[in-house]
Amino acid sequence: MTAHTDEPKTPQSESAAALLDRAARAAAAGMSADELRALLRGDPPTDRPNPRYRAHVESFFLHIRPRTYAYASTWFTHTFRLGFFAVFLALVEAITGILLMLYYVPTPAGAYASIWRLQTAVPWGEVLRDVHRLAAELMVAVVALHMLRTFLTRSYKGPRAFTWITGVVLLVLTLLFAFSGYLLPWDQLAYWAVTIGSSMADGVPLIGPRLRDLLRGAAVIGPDGLLCFYQLHIVLLPLLAALLLGVHYYRVARIHGISLPARVEEGDMPEAERQAARRKVDFLPDLLTHEVVLAVAATIALIVAALFFYDAPLQSHADPLRTPLEAEAPWFFLWVQGLLKLGNKTLMGVAIPSALLALLALVPFLDHNPSRLWRRRPLALTLAGVALIGFGVLSYMGSPSYGITLPAATEISQRLAPEEHRAGLRAVPFAQLPVGVYVVGKTDPATLPPAFAPVFADLARRVDAATADGRLPDARALLIIEDWQTGLKRATLRIGWSDPAGAGPRTFERTIYLPDAAGSHARGPARSAQSSALSAPPE
Amino acid sequence: MTRRASLERILAVIVTVLLAVLFFAANPIIAGRMAVFEDRQAAQDIATGAALFEANCRSCHGINGEGVGELGPALNERAFFQDRMKTLGWPGTLGEYVSATIAQGRIAATRPLYAGDGNVVMTAWSQQYGGPLRPDEIAALTAFVLNWEDTALGVATLEPVMTPTPSPEDLAGQAGVGREVFSDAGCGECHAVAGLSTGTTGPDLSYIGAEAATRKPGLSAELYLRESFLLPNAYRVEGYPTEVQCGGVLSRSQLDALVAFLLTL
């Protein structure tokens, strides 16, 4: 600040100013203290040629950014900042991922416990995991939307064709990242989603089974499979992604820039407006400020979401011997699961997705339309619409409930208390589960505690519906709730019916264990016992 | 400088300050969340342990940990929580003792009441020693067993379920279901019941309803039938194989129905 006063300078203050200036030049990529001050204040450059352009030469991180953007290419509604957010989320993933590696143990015996330890014993550990998971799913969505935007604005013309192809590869890498990370918590959700996913490799002609075993490390996923996915997730894919992102990003930044909106490029507006839209805007300082605002605001949003609105799922420990009733693919692969319900693995699981991918990569070479304006691209836009609807329909068909019918009694029991989700009976507060025998058709839900009543009413409704449509003739259902230990109740669901084929009475019984998740359990001894249990002889 | 740019400049400062505030302000929330997850983990362990106990342990230790005859000691009694460690001179905690016992099994009885003639009394349950359970499952089972502490020490009492007394029609219906169970589970392949099956490997059950009460002194007919199903070798009828391989898997309600049916014979 002393450098800017108008008073005559003493030799000492001059040397202080010179020192400050030297420090500024060293730290701010060649910009003087005066220049840095003007930059921060939003004043025009202090010198000619613009010393801020010099910073783009001297600093590596500014050097990979363009010095200027065409004004129209910075319009929010042109890009929605989707490319920016894709890179931002990739950085979030890298940072949270590295921190998570400090606590994660990539072995079947240690993985699941290390996730719980992260959530119970590491301050901010749960936020770290939630943000990593949330940002991963957002990244899949953002990258896909980024590609959709690029298609809709036809921003893959000319030199951008190759950039588009690197983008398609990055989309595939993003999906592989999400999928390889899926296994790491080593819970039922992860284990079975990846078992189904890796069985897709079976469908590859000739090398299928070998490829599958290579991926899984054995016939079923075990220690080697977990290690394989872990190293894919933290070493191989990051290296490939850094390589591809480097190419993709540098091409956008230095070779061809962000495309102009079609109506600016093709002169579909008054000439004066067009000139204004094409003028150059400096990256420093206003665009950088804009990016800082977006990045910090998005960081806040992610942390707030992790704290209050989003819990990364964690089901029970992976068990190769216990297949879940309803195995779920991650939402971004539901369309493949939908395809698989239509045909065999080789055609539906491998051939069609690969063909779609190849088609996607070749889009710039198939589209010979000279115009980028929407009204002159009816065919391309119709195809995009059809593809989107197709993905929507296939994803719906891929959901667990579509086209797969559980036996009626199993279905009723699953809706009453899903195996893994905190829903139905499992969501009722412990205190609102009074001990007793509740008989469908005899017990009036109105007499039950408020949280339990709708669950029981729903059970009664489903039993009645199954009786009415003949799946469970003469169904009789009852629910027994017993105290088992302090903080632990046992619910027994019993359904009896006459076999529709006339083969006599049938029964279904299931026990559901309902612990009090609100605390007051004796704990400590059991957990600390685990480590010493294997070394100390009983007596 | 445009108006928008100056606005964003201010905004940049605001969000950065907000982020810094969030980092500090969130710490009490973080501590609360950790406690919530600790409770959830403990609850999940106990529920997992409960399922494992019901599947693997109840035939020797009783569904409520009350112990079964001379097979397995009670786990829900005061002595287990208060005196067991002292009696044994075990240096660690009860949790370590329970966990180690489940993992490694027990080759000799530690109390003369229970069987222990040098043969294995309780098999090793840890996968490390050839058993079926993973380390996390042993931890969960341990958590479940230790959770009996409150009731064992009388700190808490549990409310019993009031079951309605079954009417004669219900009993008749149950016996009908039991008849189905008898046929479906393949009991008839070894046991004869007049008019239903002709198996000869196991004892004839045609009059078991009348005989059951006299087989084992002190055991009611119903309990005798239950025991015979759960532990086929607990009592042997003269003239039949000594190593019985029986033990179909029945649910509780199926076993109830089967016993009701056998009692009508």
- The minimum CA-CA distance between A428 and chain B, rounded to whole Å, is 14
**3-state secondary structure at position A477:** strand
| Average confidence (pLDDT) over A252-273 | 89
* B264 contact A CB<8A: no
What percentage of chain B carries pLDDT values higher than 70? 88
Model confidence at B163, pLDDT cuts 50, 70, 90, reads low
Q: What is the largest CA-CA distance in chain A?
A: 109
Identify all chain B residues contacting A127, using CB atoms and an 8 Å cutoff.
Answer: 26, 30
Give tens-digit pLDDT for B181-190.
888 888 888 8
**CB atoms closer than 10 angstroms to residue B246:** 15
**pLDDT beyond 50 at A535:** no
**pLDDT beyond 80 at B218:** no
Is A495 within 8 Å of A472 (Cβ atoms)?
yes
The pLDDT value recorded for residue B51 is: 95
CA–CA gap between residue B208 and residue B221 (Å, rounded): 9
Identify all chain A residues contacting B177, using CB atoms and an 8 Å cutoff.
Answer: 496, 505, 507
Instruction: Give the closest residue to A330 by CA, choosing from A400, A386, A384.
Output: A400
Model confidence at B164, pLDDT cuts 50, 70, 90, reads low
Closest Cβ opposite residue B180 in set A124, A486, A505 = A505
- The minimum CA-CA distance between A9 and chain B, rounded to whole Å, is 31
The pLDDT value recorded for residue A13 is: 62
Give tens-digit pLDDT for A176-190.
999 999 999 999 999
B42 with A488: Cβ contact below 8 A: no
Does residue A102 or residue A29 have the better pLDDT? A102
Identify all chain A residues contacting B110, using CB atoms and an 8 Å cutoff.
Answer: 539
CA–CA gap between residue B120 and residue B109 (Å, rounded): 9
Is B60 within 8 Å of B106 (Cβ atoms)?
no
A521 with B39: Cβ contact below 8 A: yes
CA distances from A144 to A32, A137, A140, A172, A257 (A): 42, 11, 6, 10, 20
B95 with A528: Cβ contact below 8 A: yes
The pLDDT value recorded for residue A11 is: 56
B8 with A481: Cβ contact below 8 A: no
Give tens-digit pLDDT for A66-99.
999 999 999 999 999 999 999 999 999 999 999 9
The pLDDT value recorded for residue A430 is: 92
**3-state secondary structure at position A375:** helix
Residues 6+ apart with CB under 8 A from A451: A427, A428, A429, A432
The pLDDT value recorded for residue A27 is: 87
The pLDDT value recorded for residue B248 is: 60
Does residue A115 or residue B165 have the better pLDDT? A115
* B159 contact A CB<8A: yes
Q: State the average pLDDT for chain B.
A: 84
Lowest mean pLDDT among A446-460, A479-493, B104-118, B128-142: B104-118
Model confidence at A536, pLDDT cuts 50, 70, 90, reads very low
Nearest CA in chain B to A120: B34
The pLDDT value recorded for residue A392 is: 96
**3-state secondary structure at position B61:** helix
A307 with B29: Cβ contact below 8 A: yes
**pLDDT beyond 80 at A4:** no
Closest Cβ opposite residue B5 in set A42, A109, A530 = A42
* B253 contact A CB<8A: yes
Rounded to a whole number, what is the distance in angstroms from the first to the last CA of chain A?
77
Tokens of B137: 């499952």
Lowest mean pLDDT among A112-126, B45-59, B228-242: B228-242
* Residue of B38, B88, B129, B181 to mutate, testing the A interface (most A Cβ within 10 Å of its Cβ): B38
* B99 contact A CB<8A: yes
CA–CA gap between residue A141 and residue A148 (Å, rounded): 10
Task: For A40-117, list the strands marked E by DSSP.
Answer: 68-70
Nearest CA in chain A to B159: A483
Identify all chain B residues contacting A513, using CB atoms and an 8 Å cutoff.
Answer: 46-48, 50-51
The pLDDT value recorded for residue B246 is: 64
Burial (0-12, 13-18, 19+ Cβ within 10 Å), A165: buried
In the 8-state DSSP scheme, what is residue B202?
S
Q: State the average pLDDT for chain A.
A: 89
CA–CA gap between residue A124 and residue B31 (Å, rounded): 9
Give tens-digit pLDDT for A247-260.
999 999 989 999 99
Pairing of strands B197-198, B192-193: antiparallel
| Average confidence (pLDDT) over B40-58 | 94
Nearest CA in chain A to B9: A289
**pLDDT beyond 80 at B14:** yes
| Average confidence (pLDDT) over A299-320 | 95
- The minimum CA-CA distance between A429 and chain B, rounded to whole Å, is 13
CA–CA gap between residue A111 and residue A446 (Å, rounded): 45
Closest Cβ opposite residue A486 in set B8, B96, B147 = B147
CA–CA gap between residue B67 and residue B77 (Å, rounded): 9
CB-defined contacts A:B, below 8 A = 227
**pLDDT beyond 70 at A521:** no
The pLDDT value recorded for residue A168 is: 97
Lowest mean pLDDT among A193-202, B83-92, B242-251: B242-251
**pLDDT beyond 70 at B242:** no
Identify all chain A residues contacting B18, using CB atoms and an 8 Å cutoff.
Answer: 296, 300
- The minimum CA-CA distance between B241 and chain A, rounded to whole Å, is 33
Closest Cβ opposite residue A300 in set B22, B48, B252 = B22
Closest Cβ opposite residue B50 in set A484, A530, A533 = A484
Give tens-digit pLDDT for A339-392.
988 988 899 989 999 999 999 999 999 999 889 999 999 999 999 999 999 999
The pLDDT value recorded for residue B112 is: 53
Query: What type of residue sits at position A378?
Result: P
Sign of CA dihedral A102, A104, A109, A115: positive
Closest Cβ opposite residue B5 in set A286, A509, A521 = A286
* Residue of B17, B37, B87, B184 to mutate, testing the A interface (most A Cβ within 10 Å of its Cβ): B37
Instruction: Give the closest residue to A394 by CA, choosing from A349, A361, A351.
Output: A349
Identify all chain B residues contacting A428, using CB atoms and an 8 Å cutoff.
Answer: none
Closest Cβ opposite residue B139 in set A125, A522, A527 = A527
B9 with A289: Cβ contact below 8 A: yes
CB interface of B with A, residues 164-223, below 8 Å: 164, 176-177, 180
Identify all chain B residues contacting A484, using CB atoms and an 8 Å cutoff.
Answer: 50, 64, 158
Angle between helices A237-250 and A82-101 (to 10 degrees): 150
What percentage of chain B carries pLDDT values higher than 90? 33
ipTM: 0.86
Lowest mean pLDDT among A159-168, A266-275, A449-458, B45-54: A266-275
Phi/psi for A371 (5° steps) reads: -100, 150
CB interface of B with A, residues 115-154, below 8 Å: 126, 128, 134-140, 142-144, 146-151
**Whole-model pTM over 0.95:** no
Closest Cβ opposite residue B103 in set A436, A490, A534 = A534
B33 with A513: Cβ contact below 8 A: no
A526 with B142: Cβ contact below 8 A: yes
The pLDDT value recorded for residue A539 is: 34
Q: Residues A140-151, buried b or exposed e (16+ Cβ, 10 A)?
A: bbbbbebbeebb
Q: What is the largest CA-CA distance in chain B?
A: 105
For chain A, what percentages of helix, strand and coil (3-state, to nearest 5) are there? Answer: 60, 10, 30
Sign of CA dihedral A59, A61, A63, A69: negative
Is A328 within 8 Å of A421 (Cβ atoms)?
no
Instruction: Give the closest residue to A188 by CA, choosing from A223, A139, A221, A229.
Output: A221
**pLDDT beyond 70 at B116:** no
* Residue of A126, A226, A485, A499 to mutate, testing the B interface (most B Cβ within 10 Å of its Cβ): A485
**pLDDT beyond 60 at A191:** yes
Give tens-digit pLDDT for A206-249.
998 999 999 998 999 999 999 999 999 999 999 999 999 999 99
Nearest CA in chain A to B93: A525
The pLDDT value recorded for residue A222 is: 93
DSSP B121-143: SB---BGGGT-SB-HHHHHHHHH
- The minimum CA-CA distance between B11 and chain A, rounded to whole Å, is 7
Closest Cβ opposite residue B40 in set A125, A514, A517 = A517
Task: For A295-448, list the strands marked E by DSSP.
Answer: 436-439
- The minimum CA-CA distance between A43 and chain B, rounded to whole Å, is 7
CA–CA gap between residue B180 and residue B188 (Å, rounded): 11
Model confidence at A153, pLDDT cuts 50, 70, 90, reads very high
- The minimum CA-CA distance between B251 and chain A, rounded to whole Å, is 7
CA–CA gap between residue A367 and residue A462 (Å, rounded): 53
CA–CA gap between residue A233 and residue A244 (Å, rounded): 16
Identify all chain B residues contacting A490, using CB atoms and an 8 Å cutoff.
Answer: 50
